[in-house]
Structure 1
Amino acid sequence: MAQPARRKFLAVVDEDTGAVEELPRAPYAFGGPHINVGIRRGRQLACADSGLSDREFRVLVWYWFATEECQAAVQMTGVAIAAELGMSPDALSKTVKVLKAARLLVESGGLGRTKFYRTSPYLAFIGSGFEHREAVSDWNPPEMSIPNPSERRRKKAKGGETA
């Protein structure tokens, strides 16, 4: 017959009396996948002079934490992502366009007309250090200084048409 598994616990023993008191254990705080985020790059992007608007930074961070598999795209529609972020699908689309142009988000597959994105492995990565090193070997580093939103607006030509 199989022996029951031995239960391990942390305890404090009173040296004088020999009394054993079991210490309570808290469950591990971070269940599920974990992500490595480059602290310096993340902070640089959070700064006002990065050129990212608050909305763009919020969408980028959402993608950091919405990825649950190593190098996998977030497989959600823009409508679902926009609803979760509390913005319109058009606003999300424009934001993703800016982040993609700066190589902060990478297009990674799709289904029909729906495109899926993930963050650049330079910014955030799920996996071991060896896997991370291999992942960044194929990518150019992202732009760390994005033109300010006011500089990205379309300039009107003399004829009144947008360039």
Structure 2
Amino acid sequence: MGQSSAVRRLPAVDRGTGEIVQLELLDRESFQQGEVRERPVLPGVRYDWQPYAGRHVNVAKSLMRKVWHKDSGYRQNDRDIFGFYVAHSPERAEPLRMTFKEIAQTLGIRPDTVARSVGRLHAGGLLLEAEKVGRMKFYRINPRAAFDGSASDQTRAVRDARYPVVPAPKAPPGPRKKEAV
């Protein structure tokens, strides 16, 4: 029978420092000599390149190309709002807990513009309603469009996520204003 060898498993990513651990399967000396010996662990390499350190998001490029196309049905404000959600959402499938007013102040636009864009993005499945507190709704990014987390977390997150659509569907009509008598 074959020889059994003890395999020492090391984490591939140091989540505390944001470093990827370099793995060396066969170094030249042990390959040439035909022996296996204890190898030192190489220093980690940062995956959050400077000067913009931080987490990175997995984005569906083919979907984003469709959304950013001039014939997508999504407007520039919609794309800005979606980009805001991608950049500001917490990890995994957590909702962005910011009001439309807070988002509007950050982007320098009106809260009703944010509300209309979120409505179109929700109708198209790019944003999903995640929770409701009173009358306030909080949305999360559809994990089929973009995800901040591990591949296994994303696999679990997409189980209940619908497929985003392009071109943008029409947002449901809002409440009608009362006519003056």
TM over 0.5: yes
Secondary structure in structure 1 of the residue aligned to 2:138 = strand
Is 2:100 the counterpart of 1:72? Answer: no
Counterpart in the other structure of 2:116: 94
Equivalent position to 1:136, from 154, 158, 164 = 158
* Number of matched pairs: 127
| Structure 1 ranges of 4+ moved more than 4 A | none
Q: CA deviation at 1:81?
A: 0.6
* Structure 1 residue ranges without an equivalent (≥5): 1-25, 155-160
Is 2:77 the counterpart of 1:55? Answer: yes
Q: Distance in 1 between matches of 2:115 and 2:162?
A: 23
* 8 Å Cα contact 1:33-1:68 kept in structure 2: no
Q: CA deviation at 1:68?
A: 2.3
**What is the root-mean-square deviation of aligned Cα atoms in Å?**
2.4
**Deviation digits for residues 47-72 of structure 1 (CA, Å, limit 9, x no counterpart):** 11111111111111111111122111
**Deviation digits for residues 90-111 of structure 1 (CA, Å, limit 9, x no counterpart):** 1111111111111111111133
Counterpart in the other structure of 2:30: none
Counterpart in the other structure of 2:59: 37
Normalised by the length of structure 1, the TM-score is 0.70
Q: Distance in 1 between matches of 2:103 and 2:160?
A: 28
Secondary structure in structure 1 of the residue aligned to 2:131 = strand
Amino acid in structure 2 at the alignment position of 1:64? V
* Structure 2 residue ranges without an equivalent (≥5): 1-45, 174-178
Equivalent position to 1:146, from 168, 176, 179 = 168
- Give the fraction of aligned pairs with identical amino acids, expressed as a percent: 33
Equivalent position to 2:143, from 94, 100, 121 = 121
Normalised by the length of structure 2, the TM-score is 0.63
Q: Distance in 2 between matches of 1:91 and 1:28?
A: 34
Q: Distance in 2 between matches of 1:140 and 1:115?
A: 18
Q: Distance in 2 between matches of 1:31 and 1:54?
A: 27
Q: CA deviation at 1:88?
A: 0.8
